Amino acid sequence: MSGAPIDRYRRRLLGGAVAAGTLTLAPGVFLHRLAEAKPEAEPVTAAVRWGLLVDANKCADCSVCVDACREEHGWDGHGRPRSDAQWIRKVELRDQTSGRQLSLPMMCQHCAHPPCVDVCPTGASFRRADGIVLVDKHTCIGCRYCMMACPYKARSFIHEELSDQKPYSPRGKGTVESCTLCVHRVDAGLAPACVDACQRDGRGALTFGDLNDTNGALRRALAEHATTQVRADLGLDLGVRYRGL
Amino acid sequence: MRRLLPALLLLAAWPALAAPADGAGRVPLPAVDAGAGGQCVEPVEFMRRNHMELLLHQRDETMHRGIRTQRHSLRNCINCHAVDGAGQPVTLDDPEHFCVSCHRYAAVKLDCFQCHTGTPEPGVPGVVGADAWSRGLAATDPRGANP
């Protein structure tokens, strides 16, 4: 009976054994694969909470993550930085006293208590059981309340008619969008495109994993180092954590 | 006479009612190219009336619950059907596009493609056979198989 793979998946989830591994495709090309992909007929569960750790000490003055995201989801701009789509952006910080400079990526923080979901009048903005905050563009009316509610300026609005979208990343005029944590890749057992790109071409500043898995790479990194949540005072319980801020 | 009139009317309308289904009648049928599939994921008669229900159901399952079975997904429709006889992709601008041709004929506005791409992914074949969700798992899933 075909129920067998699901039982195994459940057992592994409950046992907390979803460990991150690395699959070598060709010399120098790595595909970071979470040990077991979710069976495609299984709904996501709250047993997993996907999260991301950004190590500002490693993050260099490059834009590999941003380029990878743009390539993956096809949100190329129209040369209008104030209104162009922006799923992830690089932020430069400078301490005025010491002169210490930091460069780090900022995107949807995948809050456990997302303000965008609170304000959405149609229920289009929602949080999936596994912690990924998404926009259901089928019900989005483009009111942009969520853009105003987000403390991280993570969301953008599509002003232009589009064509040739990626099959796994539908985008259309009149809807709001933001980082999906590459939900199509995560459901297939892969890490988000920015994480893969940073490991491959950057300095390995991004760690993706399950915040609930105490043996996972993410939880081990969080246990080992002091990390912060941006605007922790808001109490939103973020899925994206920063080290070295 | 009262009985004769309906019978005469029926007789007069007979040629239109009895028009053959192959498009040779007064109203031409759309030229639908079924694409590469040859066989749909469900019986054709069922799909003609219910494809929108399947797509709507699959849309919510995928978006909100992360269920990514291919059988009733829009991507699978496009990968199989949006190709011509030679297997070349057909774009939405082409009136022969599988979805476009029928929707034009029926004058039903099609807004899937404001966001979704209407052209198939190169090298990705459509899935015709039963997948785990709609067949094998139906027995173990309390909600049963897709409609």
Q: How many CB pairs under 8 A join A and B?
A: 76
Measured in whole angstroms, the distance separating CA B110 from the mean position of its chain's CA atoms is 13
Tokens of A222: 């969080």
Q: What pLDDT is stored for residue B3 in this prediction? A: 58
Q: H or E segment at A149? A: helix A145-149
Nearest by CB to A187, which of B61, B66, B133? B66
CB contact under 8 A, B132 and A40: yes
- pLDDT band for B125, please (50, 70, 90 cuts): confident
What's the CA gap between A108 and A22, in Å, rounded? 26
Checking if the pLDDT of B20 tops 50, the result is: no
Nearest by CB to A44, which of B66, B75, B115? B66
What's the CA gap between A29 and B74, in Å, rounded? 31
What's the CA gap between B112 and A21, in Å, rounded? 37
Where is average pLDDT lowest: A55-64, A75-84, B5-14?
Answer: B5-14
Best CA proximity match to B15, nearest among B30, B27, B29, B4: B27
Residues of chain B with a CB closer than 8 angstroms to some CB in chain A? 59, 61, 63-70, 75, 78, 114-117, 119, 121, 131-133, 136-137, 139-141
Q: What distance in Å separates residue B138's CA from the closest CA in chain A?
A: 10
Q: What pLDDT is stored for residue A36 in this prediction? A: 66
Q: What pLDDT is stored for residue B19 in this prediction? A: 44
Mean pLDDT taken over chain B: 75
Tokens of A91: 């932020």
Q: What distance in Å separates residue B83's CA from the closest CA in chain A?
A: 15
What's the CA gap between B54 and A150, in Å, rounded? 34
Average pLDDT over residues A228-244: 97
- pLDDT band for B134, please (50, 70, 90 cuts): very low
* B111 to A14, A34, A172, B108, B117: CA distances (angstroms): 41, 36, 10, 10, 11
- CB < 8 Å from B in window 140-169 of A: 161-168
Q: What distance in Å separates residue B114's CA from the closest CA in chain A?
A: 6
A37 contacts chain B (CB < 8 A):
no
Q: What pLDDT is stored for residue B33 in this prediction? A: 72
Checking if the pLDDT of B147 tops 70, the result is: no
Checking if the pLDDT of A69 tops 80, the result is: yes
Mean pLDDT taken over chain A: 88
CB contact under 8 A, A187 and B59: no
Average pLDDT over residues A218-237: 96
Q: Classify A26 as helix, strand or coil.
A: strand
Q: What distance in Å separates residue B68's CA from the closest CA in chain A?
A: 5
CB contact under 8 A, A44 and B116: no
The verdict on domain A4-115+178-243 having CATH code 3.40.640.10 is no
Checking if the pLDDT of A240 tops 50, the result is: yes
% of chain A with per-residue pLDDT over 70: 85
Measured in whole angstroms, the distance separating CA A116 from the mean position of its chain's CA atoms is 16
Better-scored residue on pLDDT, B72 or B132? B72
Average pLDDT over residues B78-99: 88
Q: What pLDDT is stored for residue B141 in this prediction? A: 39
C-beta of residue A70 within 8 angstroms of C-beta of residue A179: no
Q: What pLDDT is stored for residue A76 in this prediction? A: 86
Q: What pLDDT is stored for residue B32 in this prediction? A: 76
Tokens of A35: 């040990």
pLDDT tens, residue by residue, B42-77? 988 899 899 999 999 999 999 999 999 999 999 999
Q: What pLDDT is stored for residue A85 in this prediction? A: 93
pTM of the complete model beyond 0.90: no
Checking if the pLDDT of B40 tops 80, the result is: yes
Q: What pLDDT is stored for residue A28 in this prediction? A: 45
Measured in whole angstroms, the distance separating CA B107 from the mean position of its chain's CA atoms is 15
CB contact under 8 A, B67 and A183: no
What's the CA gap between A115 and A113, in Å, rounded? 6
Checking if the pLDDT of A31 tops 60, the result is: no
CB contact under 8 A, A187 and B68: yes
> Choosing among A40, A139, A181, which should be mutated to test the B contact, i.e. which has the most B CBs within 10 A?
A40
Q: What pLDDT is stored for residue B38 in this prediction? A: 66
What's the CA gap between B10 and B80, in Å, rounded? 43
Average pLDDT over residues A72-80: 90
Checking if the pLDDT of A29 tops 50, the result is: no
Checking if the pLDDT of A217 tops 60, the result is: yes
What's the CA gap between B99 and B33, in Å, rounded? 10
Checking if the pLDDT of A173 tops 90, the result is: yes
Number of other CB atoms surrounding residue A172 within 10 Å = 22
Nearest by CB to A136, which of B63, B75, B114? B63
What's the ipTM?
Answer: 0.81
Q: What pLDDT is stored for residue A104 in this prediction? A: 94
